[in-house]
Amino acid sequence: MLREFVRSSKAMSDETRARILNLLAHSELCVCQFMVILDMGQSTVSKHLGILKNAGLVEMEKRGTWSFYRLSKDKTNAHNRDFIRLLPSLPKDDPILQKDNRSLNEVSKKGVAFCSVVALKKKRRARSIHAGEERCDR
């Protein structure tokens, strides 16, 4: 149906989600790895992945507390198969995607546990900055 076609197309047509799809074209990843590579907050990443999953472009598998995402292998959806096939035409010479791919290599080497630590640190830093600002207001 047209509605599904548009939903999948919309899911692709955002810079952040295009970056996510580019990364997933290389390997499966969990949320905290995306946080490090994309340098974005956890809720942002989770939201974007939810949109991609809802459109059927991406699948999720829980392993312990981690959620691993990968490109959908669903053969029943014609649009999504075609949209995913389009990923190789993402501009390989784009500096953002090149940087993402380099980060992906590093992150992959260091493993998931590393990302958890980095993501947690980031979260705590954000909290403490916020707490500091509040103190200054008094």
d(C-alpha 16, C-alpha 38), whole Å: 8
Closer to a second copy by Cβ: residue 76 or 89:
89
d(C-alpha 104, C-alpha 120), whole Å: 18
Output the smallest distance, CB 23 to a second copy, in A: 13
Instruction: Please identify which residue in 53, 70, 79, 110 interacts with a second copy, judged by CB under 8 A.
Output: 79
Q: Say which amino acid occupies 130.
A: H
Host H or E run for residue 30: strand 29-30
Where on the chain is the footprint of a second copy (CB under 8 A)?
Answer: 1-6, 9-10, 12-15, 18-19, 78-79, 82-83, 86, 89-91, 93-94, 96-97
Where on the chain is the footprint of DNA (CB under 7 A)?
Answer: 10, 14-17, 30-32, 35, 40-44, 46-51, 60, 62, 64-67, 113, 116-117, 119-120, 126-127, 130
